[in-house]
Amino acid sequence: MWAKNTPSRKARQRGRRVTNEGPFPPRSDLRYAAGVFDLLKTDATSKARLGRLTTSRGVIDTPVFMPVGTQASVKALDPRELREMGTQILLGNTYHLSIRPGMEIIQAGGGLHSFMGWDAPILTDSGGFQVFSLAKIRKVRAHGVEFRSHLDGSPLFLGPKESMAIQRQLGSDIAMVFDECPPHDAPAKEQNLAVERTIRWARECREQPRAEGQFVFGIVQGGADPALREHCAKEIVGMDFDGHAIGGVSVGEPEPEMMKAVEFTEPFLPANKPRYAMGLGTPAQLVELVARGVDMFDCVLPTRVARNGTAFTNRGTFAIKGGACKAEFRPIEEGCTCFACRQFTRAYIRHLLNVNEILGLRLVSIHNSHFYLHVMAEIRRHLAAGTFEEFRRGFIANYVPTSRVLASRMVGAE
């Protein structure tokens, strides 16, 4: 809920502030979630882990992919479809939901789960990334960020207290701390300042009340600087959060730099808590990041590229709208068990896309989302069987990266 900031005239001048409805309960009344993460198995040939995270709304088998439901909806998909394809947990967005439809509506609707008709776990991001990626005008203050709404340009303020208040009202199962995510090519001084703010804001987030049963994950920043990553990780881990995220990745950096950021951070994260790489990545990147010890992922790619008619397969992506599919009367991918592949051909889906029928983008979204979830299920199966390395080698050998990823690798190798 974006509301008028009332504590002082100076604060009022900084724009609207998110607050709780009513005062926070006294510190003695706060109830913190007892995070339960069982590390079931570690791969003998890599850092890959098979685990299980128990939340109040269900058990999550890891490694896990979380479809992105920014506006309380995974684009083009409904909850029934998501559950049928094996979705265990969704991601929601603090910034966007607090603006539209607003916290009053979501609370009147019984909280985020009830409002969107989803009874399984939800992770909400803090809104920090949107503040820095969407805002045209922003000023970083000691306790948050002044910026302007991407909708109407109205002044807003979001900080640790405001972000945690929104996530408490949303009732998400996992809330993320409010952090600062600078550009990957930011100067060293800016990276250092961002890390210090991230640490300070994490402490503020840690002190805020939570929804009943709500976990809170800390976020590690530090760019591509190994010393900065180590420093930030040790400080965040010392606050005893329920899990930890690796932030500042997938923000425009070359792929090798992204992998290094994860490699610089992972050694300092405790083995008995889940690890989350935020905003990643392509299917091949997910496989490689699992091998580097990451348990949780989210990415907008499955539905984003689907709206342009691009499909994921075990051999990479291809454009269904292209002329090569005009008379291809076979599924998007042979052997795929998603609804789109069981029922329809490439030729039919291409036709729908080219005549702008909504069903076309829905079917590609179904396939792509199912594919991501299937890859993670296969990873879990091979980890349990002790054959992950064989799966990893075969998947990477067959998966052809896009030209953009290849170019990114070349830049990173220079």
Quick check: 201 and 141 in contact, CB under 8 A? no
Quick check: 341 and 252 in contact, CB under 8 A? no
Q: Would you call 179 a catalytic residue per the annotation?
A: no
- Alpha-carbon distances, residue 394 vs 28, 43, 315, 391 (angstroms): 54, 16, 11, 5
Query: Which neighbouring-strand residues pair with 310?
Result: 319
Quick check: 124 and 167 in contact, CB under 8 A? yes
Q: In what order do the strands lie in the sheet with 2-3?
A: 2-3, 16-18, 155-158, 144-148, 138-141
Q: Would you call 125 a catalytic residue per the annotation?
A: yes
CA angle 370, 376, 377 (to 5 degrees): 85
Between CA 221 and CA 236 the distance in angstroms is 10
Q: And the tokens for 167? A: 């996530």
Please pick, among 179, 242, 295, 298, the residue that the annotation labels catalytic. Answer: 298
Cβ-in-10-Å burial (0-12, 13-18, 19+) of 7 comes to exposed
Listed in sequence order, the residues at least 6 apart from 84 whose beta carbon sits closer than 8 Å to its beta carbon are 339
Quick check: 413 and 328 in contact, CB under 8 A? no
Written as one letter, the residue type at 78 is D
Q: Which regions of 56-95 does DSSP assign to beta strands (E)?
A: 58-62, 64-67, 90-93
Please pick, among 125, 179, 242, 295, the residue that the annotation labels catalytic. Answer: 125
The residues assigned a catalytic role are: 125, 298
